[in-house]
Amino acid sequence: MIDVVSKMCPCGKTASYGFPEGKPVCCNTCKEPGMINVRSKTCPGYDGVPCPVATYIHSSREYCLACDPDDSRRTMRLNDETAFFDFLAENGVSVTQRSYRVDYRCIDTAKKYSLIDGVIITADVVVCLELDEDAHEYYDPVCEKARMHDASAELKIAFPDRPIAWIRVNPHTKKDGKRDVSRAAKKVRDERHRKALVLIRDVLENPWGGIKYVGY
pLDDT in tens, the chain (216 residues): 345 556 889 998 888 888 888 888 988 889 888 887 777 667 777 777 777 655 666 566 677 766 777 656 555 556 788 889 999 999 999 999 998 999 888 877 777 888 899 999 999 999 999 987 754 455 566 677 888 899 999 999 999 999 999 999 988 877 766 767 788 888 989 999 999 999 999 999 999 999 999 987
* Single pTM value for the model: 0.63
Give dist(CA 171, CA 86) in Å, integer: 14
Same domain, residue pair 96 and 155:
yes
Give dist(CA 89, CA 96) in Å, integer: 11
Give dist(CA 17, CA 174) in Å, integer: 29
Is 46 exposed, middle or buried (CB count within 10 Å of its CB: 0-12, 13-18, 19+)?
Answer: middle
Rg (CA), the chain: 19
Domain residues for the domain of 101 are: 71-214
CATH number for 101: 3.40.1350
Same domain, residue pair 79 and 178:
yes
